[in-house]
Amino acid sequence: MPLRRLAQPLLSIPLLAAGVSLLAAQGKALAKFTGTVVSGIDSIQLSYAQVILRSAVGSQYYAAITDSLGAFRIDTIVPGPYSIRVQFLGYPPDTSRFEFEPGASVDRVVILRAHCNYDSALAVSDIRRGRPRILLHGGIAPLAYGVQDRAMERKYRFRYKEFGDQIENPLQCDEQYNRVVFGFLDRKYGTGWRDSVRTH
């Protein structure tokens, strides 16, 4: 399914129909909510983030998933107060409340913030202490740690740290850490070491 198609709102059809009928009787216009979700770590746009609206006074519920540019769009919102929840893997959810006026068109940039256990500052500190690591996310069945891995660690003086399928931080945190370590190893050994290093 294309990412743009995923970005369309996932609406409850019976609730929407009831809301539209009620608004038509009252002469009220529906509202619209658009925006972009970005990472507070490196400002990249987050695709597949979830945007959820729940009515504070009724049963209306709307949801959307961001596309490849981090954009979302929810049309035909019944006016009124809503709780807004934006969430993405590894980040604490962003929650807020907002009242949509009849006919309103609201556009927002939502910044998801997170604390990084691993980041560029820690990478610099680990390098200074002679203990740089390469962070791996091998999924539910990561590659087994073997003889070649131990040889790489001894030769280039780093350690692998495998998280498997556990997401302790946003992946952008680990990417920052690895970027600094990779740059350090390139300067010290050239780029040939990359031919044998594990990436997952």
DSSP state of 146: -
Contact by Cβ (8 Å): 37, 112: yes
CATH of the domain spanning 3-112: 2.60.40.10
Task: In whole angstroms, give the CA distance from residue 161 to residue 195.
Answer: 19
pLDDT for the residue 21: 47
Categorize the per-residue pLDDT at 179 as very low, low, confident or very high, splitting at 50, 70 and 90. very high
| Tally of helices (H runs) and strands (E runs) in the chain | 5, 10
- pLDDT-derived band at 17 (thresholds 50, 70, 90) equals very low
The pTM of the full predicted model, rounded to 2 decimals, is 0.71
- Predicted local distance difference test score (pLDDT) of residue 6: 37
Cα 53–60–92 angle (5° rounding)? 20
Q: Among the listed ranges 8-12, 63-67, 110-114, 175-179, which one has the minimum average pLDDT value? A: 8-12
Spans of all domains in the chain: 3-112, 120-195
What's the token pair of residue 77?
A: 């919102």
Residue 132 has pLDDT above 80, yes or no: yes
From 184, 189, 186, 45, select the one nearest 123 (Cα to Cα): 184
